[in-house]
């Protein structure tokens, strides 16, 4: 007997589905909103969830990451009257079992439910796998937890894996973690930087060459494909692999044999392929820039890493992890963090993702020297200015640019790390609004520049203690 949840705002549909499920000797709950349904899913253990797309409080597809991140995630069957092929694609990518259109026949629903339950039973009955070694990767957000589940599947198998994501999201780290948790961990993890391969030397780099095969071939050379024998071959930025070599590499993937340049013998290599790219390979295939048959081969499993801006809940954990490692590297005592440090990091857009975060943190650690606490003031000036500008824009609706104003205004505009530049050349808010914004930004910068030290704050601002605390309360700020 299985436990089923129906999440649909159509009362009649819920009653009909509940009647069908009960006749099949399963237990059933129902909910009519995402909020109630998600609370039920977190409280109870469900084998299958029937999920409608359009609900009063949002799109059902939006809670898929939350359902997939549950300790024992259910199989999800989308049941909707919206015949939307793009919605179906999103649902399948989100990990659903099936996508059915209302009205579906009783037979169709019963068959789909039966197959989903059988799969769920088999999956639950598998022996527990050894704990993954995730010591080098950090992520507690629902999107990263979903990626970790795929990582675990990839580590258990020997299938080809394609990792996608923006530059700096940690694709190579994810690939090496898959290798470190796989049965090939005793072999080499060989990295091929496809973007850095000179087209004239691609075959020699990948497959090796024999002495005298070409002018500069002064000795035999073992190629990267052979070095990965028994281990993992990681093709970084596989979208940059020249078309001229893609057909040759496809044969290597199929046959696991290759011929070094200048050699008549064929060699073998038993490697596991993991590839990564920040490009849309499907669009490249449409444009004739990437072979479709090669894409099919390399994406047996696909793992997408979300950008850092889409998982702000991970920023604190990543920062603590990185700063601890940096303190060990530079022989410093472990550092703590000021109250404003993480709120500033969360307010930044992170176009360079985790790589940019780690670089900025290293600069901050170096800038702090022997100080025991990291404050926002230790972060790069460029980051602090952008964060401040975005805060001003949110509060006033005005865009702030880098252009300067008159000399008379220049002293005022330096307050808040130049975030008021150009404000006098635009349509002004009311004086009261402007005063409020200026006061709040001044206080924020005052706290940052004084490192949260009250005596220094009162000395610089010439405010009384009581006046300062009343302003903190007024603008919901804290030391």
Report pLDDT digits (tens) over 269-312.
999 999 999 999 999 999 999 999 999 999 999 999 999 999 99
Nearest one of 37, 8, 6, 23 to 110, comparing CA atoms: 23
Q: Residue 396: its pLDDT value, please?
A: 52
CATH class of 142-306: alpha beta
| Cα 346 from Cα 315, distance rounded (Å) | 7
Q: What is the pLDDT of residues 35-76, one digit of tens each?
A: 999 999 998 989 999 998 888 998 888 888 889 888 888 999
Helix (H) or strand (E) holding 102: none
Q: What does the pLDDT average to over 187-216?
A: 86
Phi, psi of 189, rounded to the nearest 5 degrees: -105, 105
Question: Between these two residues, 175 and 93, which has the higher pLDDT value?
Answer: 175
Domains 3-125 and 314-474 share a fold: no
Q: Residue 85: its pLDDT value, please?
A: 62
| Cα 175 from Cα 325, distance rounded (Å) | 21
Beta strands in 40-97 (DSSP E): 48-51, 54-55, 58-59, 75-80
How far are the Cα atoms of 111, 260, 333 from residue 326, in angstroms, in the given order? 55, 43, 10
| Cα 212 from Cα 199, distance rounded (Å) | 19
Query: Among 1.10.287.3510, 3.40.50.2300, 3.30.420.40, 3.40.50.150, what is the CATH number of 3-125?
Result: 3.40.50.2300
Q: What is the pLDDT of residues 213-257, one digit of tens each?
A: 777 777 888 999 999 999 999 999 999 999 989 999 999 999 999
Strand-pair category, 189-193 with 232-236: parallel
| Residues 314-474, CATH architecture | Orthogonal Bundle (1.10)
Q: What's the N-to-C CA distance of the chain in angstroms? A: 56
Does the pLDDT value for residue 129 go beyond 80? no
Q: Where are the domains of the chain?
A: 3-125, 142-306, 314-474
Q: Residue 315: its pLDDT value, please?
A: 96
Per-residue pLDDT band at 196 (split at 50, 70, 90):
confident
Q: Give the contacts of 324 (CB within 8 A, at least 6 positions apart).
A: 334
Nearest one of 345, 194, 397, 371 to 276, comparing CA atoms: 194
Side-chain-facing half-sphere of 72: CA atoms under 13 Å: 13
Which tokens belong to 344?
Answer: 């500033």
Q: What does the pLDDT average to over 393-403?
A: 51
| Cα 192 from Cα 235, distance rounded (Å) | 5
């Amino acid at each position: 007997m299985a436990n089923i949840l129906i999440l649909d705002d159509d009362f009649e549909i819920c009653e009909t589905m509940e009647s069908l499920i009960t006749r099949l000797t399963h237990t059933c709950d129902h909910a009519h909103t995402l909020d109630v349904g998600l609370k039920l899913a977190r409280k109870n253990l469900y084998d299958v969830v029937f999920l409608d797309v359009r609900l009063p409080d949002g799109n059902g597809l939006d809670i898929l990451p939350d359902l997939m991140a549950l300790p024992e995630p259910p199989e999800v069957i989308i049941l909707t009257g919206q015949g939307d092929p793009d919605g179906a694609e999103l649902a399948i990518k989100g990990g659903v079992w099936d996508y059915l259109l209302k009205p579906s026949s009783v037979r169709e629903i019963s068959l789909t439910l039966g197959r989903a339950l059988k799969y769920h039973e088999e999956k639950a009955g598998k022996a527990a796998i050894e704990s993954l070694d995730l010591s080098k990767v950090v992520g507690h957000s629902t999107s990263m937890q979903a990626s970790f589940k795929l990582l675990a599947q990839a580590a258990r198998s020997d299938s080809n894996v394609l990792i996608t994501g923006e530059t700096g999201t940690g694709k190579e780290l994810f690939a090496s973690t898959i290798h470190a948790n796989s049965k090939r961990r005793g072999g080499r993890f060989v990295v091929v930087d496809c973007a850095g391969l000179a087209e004239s030397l691609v075959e020699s780099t990948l497959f090796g060459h024999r002495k005298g095969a070409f002018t500069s071939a002064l000795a035999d050379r073992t190629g990267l494909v052979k070095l990965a024998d028994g281990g993992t071959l990681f093709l970084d930025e596989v979208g940059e692999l020249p078309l001229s070599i893609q057909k040759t590499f496809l044969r290597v993937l199929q046959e696991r044999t290759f011929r070094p340049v200048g050699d008549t013998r064929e060699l073998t290599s038993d490697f596991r392929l993991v590839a990564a790219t920040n490009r849309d390979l499907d669009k490249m295939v449409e444009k004739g820039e990437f072979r479709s048959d090669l894409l099919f081969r390399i994406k047996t499993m696909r793992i997408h890493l979300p950008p850092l801006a889409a998982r702000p809940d991970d920023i604190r954990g990543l920062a603590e992890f990185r700063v601890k490692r940096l303190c060990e590297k530079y022989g410093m005592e472990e550092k703590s963090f000021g109250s404003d440090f993480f709120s500033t990091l969360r307010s930044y857009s992170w176009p360079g993702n985790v790589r940019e975060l780690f670089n900025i943190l290293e600069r901050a650690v170096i800038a702090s020297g022997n100080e025991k606490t990291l404050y926002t003031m230790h972060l790069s000036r460029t980051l602090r200015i952008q964060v401040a500008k975005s805060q001003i824009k949110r509060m006033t609706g005005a865009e702030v640019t880098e252009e300067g104003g008159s000399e008379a205004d220049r002293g005022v505009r330096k307050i808040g790390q130049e975030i008021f530049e150009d404000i006098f050349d635009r349509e002004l808010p009311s004086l009261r609004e402007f005063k409020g914004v200026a006061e709040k930004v001044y206080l924020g910068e005052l706290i940052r520049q004084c490192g949260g030290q009250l005596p220094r704050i009162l000395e610089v601002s010439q405010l009384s203690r009581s006046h300062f605390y009343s302003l903190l309360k007024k603008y919901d700020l804290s030391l």
